[in-house]
Homo-oligomer: A and B are copies of this chain.
Amino acid sequence: MLEYSAQLDLAFHALADGTRRAILERLSRGPASVSELAKPFETSLAAIHQHVQVLEASGLIATEKRGRTRECRISAETIMRVEHWLNERRQLWEQRFDRLGKLLENNEFQNMAGAGGTADGGEHR
């Protein structure tokens, strides 16, 4: 199994392309074959096939060959992992922001009896 960071590399890289995101949007509405996925685009089928391969390697989709068509469908796990990573960072940041907010509030109370304070809650480093 790939290490966590390498998985995120693949997933974020896969998501960093508008065509691939459009494919995901299509698939979030239900499974489709490669040529169905290709229809909305002007690029070649081979190019879409390559995008599908990138998406599958990232774990964002899963595919299965049925006869001569390949059915592609969204896979939940990876998108959840990505959301989880983002969520953790954001929460860390928000916690810090809340603490900073409270600090500033306290400063304001203190400053009510003094002169205008700095705009920056200097707890840097």
A residues whose Cβ falls under 8 Å from a Cβ of B: 5, 8-9, 12-13, 15-18, 21, 24-25, 27-32, 36, 71, 74, 76, 79-80, 82-83, 85-87, 89-90, 92-94, 96-97, 123-125
A11 to chain B, nearest CB (A): 8
B76 touches A30 (CB 8 A): no
Given A89-B24, A90-B79, A93-B76, residue A125 in contact with residue B30 (CB < 8 A):
yes
Contact of A92 among B16, B17, B28 (CB under 8 A): B28
Query: With A and B bound together, what is the CA distance between A124 and B24 in angstroms?
Result: 16
Q: Tell me what chain A mostly uses at the interface: helix, strand, loop, or mixed.
A: helix
Question: Of all chain B residues, which has the CB nearest A60?
Answer: B89
8 contacts between A and B (CB under 8 A): A5-B18, A8-B21, A25-B89, A28-B89, A30-B124, A30-B125, A32-B125, A76-B97
